[in-house]
Amino acid sequence: MRRRWAAASSPLPSPAHETQTLRLHPLSLLRRQSPSETRHGRLPLARTSADFHTSSAPPEPPPPPQDLDDDLLCSDPRARDREPADGAPPLPDGSPSRCLSAGSRAERAWAHWAGLGRPRLIVAPMVDNSELPFRMLCRKYGAEAAYTPMLHSRIFTETEKYRSAEFTTCKEDRPLFVQFCANDPDILLEAARRVEPYCDYVDINLGCPQRIARRGNYGAFLMDNLPLVKSLVQKLALNLNVPVSCKIRVFPKLEDTLNYARMLEEAGCSLLAVHGRTRDEKDGKKIRADWSAIKAVKNALNIPVLANGNIRHMDDVESCLQETGADGVLSAETLLENPALFAGYQTADWIVGSEESHKDGHLDQAQLLVEYLKFCEKYPVPWRMIRSHMHKMLGDWFKIHPQVRDELNAQSKLTFEFLYGLVDKLKDLGLRIPLYVKDEDVVRISANGSAT
């Protein structure tokens, strides 16, 4: 008997009036925004090594934000229609790794990747930033797959409000990686089973280098406890009907990195994303990712490998794919400033001093922000996410007119009317900072919103 990836034995529980939109944060603070807010007919709205080997306590959730208004949903999710996830390739019953030889597991990993179209341009997981509206914007401008923000596996299993507010998806949001942080195999499996009908990979975050990951004993700090990492991967690989992927950082020593990657593949990982920096190398603007380490991992494994790091524009994409041999690239920070990166658009920063000829692409970040806000009206998210994207996309604009940024910061309760008004104010001040394309790059957005 054959089944579709989208069909799961335990469907996601959610109230009948809510749409298929899944979210993550302690959301006892959440309430729905009134649909009365409209504008121009728009829709309403970590520790020592020894600590990790002995600690058994689950990671603690982050403290709640200080600004309660920013944690409210930006519009009413009841205005949306529920649509079942569909379009995933059918596979035989059982996990991709259950009772299979290493060669068979690799063959299945590649078959699944090929069935998804071998996506090369991928939105990286970003806490509070790779949410559904932003993913949809990036997909419109060339992204071929995307990760959700990192989801906390324990809170996800325990709190319905957390699930319904932090993980959101829709039929068009594919291929999709749903990423969890975890340090308990059973809890991770429970969380993963809730999302497997709605995604193409369940991903384990093994790369977060932040202080909260150290405190919670997850992410890159599990590199100190490889038996636990192995058990997490095996638990999912032996029990899920979708493939397991992992996202890692490199060790200071290449041989340690290669042994780590081989262990993950042997445990059942079907796809590995490699960030070419160590967990101590947190500043991506000052420290270059090591593409040679990614190339070594790619040469050592038999499964698809993705590269993460140093992606600022499409020239970097092509260079990275050529130098590493990777099967795709992930971009994070640059996409936050320029969600049209994968469609060939560049900010002025990356064309200064270039020997190639560039021209105005007839697109700017203010226009992209308006498109993002429209996606937010369709797919509600907490205001804190929207506020963050405002600062990222309009950062260069705010440097020229800081009074507009100050006005945004002073507004404790956001509305779409207010945000559209800020964009209009920047335009009224005569400001426009274009995105650029190469003269030979003819980027066209088709009627269905896809970059061609």
Task: Quick: pLDDT tens for 352-382.
Answer: 666 577 888 899 999 999 999 999 999 999 9
Sequence-ordered alpha helix ranges (H) in 325-401: 333-337, 365-378, 383-393, 395-400
C-alpha–C-alpha distance, residues 379 and 393, integer Å: 19
Residue 421 amino acid letter:
G
What the block records as the tokens of 38 is: 């409209």
pLDDT digits (tens, 9 = 90+) for 427-451: 999 989 999 998 765 444 443 444 5
C-alpha–C-alpha distance, residues 289 and 308, integer Å: 8
C-alpha–C-alpha distance, residues 383 and 191, integer Å: 25
**Dihedral sign, Cα of residue 165, residue 167, residue 169, residue 173:** positive
- Please confirm whether the linkage preceding 175 is cis (ω < 30° from 0): yes
Positions annotated as catalytic residues are 208
Say if strands 201-206 and 244-249 run parallel, antiparallel, or are unpaired. Answer: parallel
Sequence-ordered alpha helix ranges (H) in 198-313: 211-216, 226-237, 254-267, 291-300
Query: What is the average per-residue pLDDT within 294-317?
Result: 97
Q: Do the Cβ atoms of 419 and 110 come closer than 8 Å?
A: no
What the block records as the tokens of 296 is: 């070594």
What the block records as the tokens of 105 is: 């597991």
pLDDT digits (tens, 9 = 90+) for 230-253: 999 999 999 999 999 999 999 999
Say if strands 244-249 and 269-275 run parallel, antiparallel, or are unpaired. Answer: parallel
Q: What is the pLDDT of residue 89?
A: 38
What the block records as the tokens of 1 is: 């008997």
* pLDDT above 70: residue 296: yes
Q: What is the pLDDT of residue 348?
A: 87
**Neighbouring residues of 52: CB distance < 8 A, sequence distance ≥ 6:** 46, 217, 221, 222, 224, 225, 228
* pLDDT above 80: residue 101: no
State the helix-helix crossing angle for 226-237 and 185-195, rounded to 10 degrees: 40
Outline where DSSP puts E strands in 258-327.
Answer: 269-275, 305-308
Query: What is the average per-residue pLDDT within 214-235?
Result: 95
**pLDDT class of 53 with cuts at 50, 70, 90:** very low
Q: Do the Cβ atoms of 71 and 30 come closer than 8 Å?
A: yes
C-alpha–C-alpha distance, residues 326 and 304, integer Å: 8
* pLDDT above 80: residue 159: yes
State the helix-helix crossing angle for 383-393 and 416-428, rounded to 10 degrees: 10
Work out the percent of the chain whose per-residue pLDDT is above 70: 74
| φ, ψ at 315 (rounded to 5°) | -60, -40
**pLDDT class of 103 with cuts at 50, 70, 90:** confident
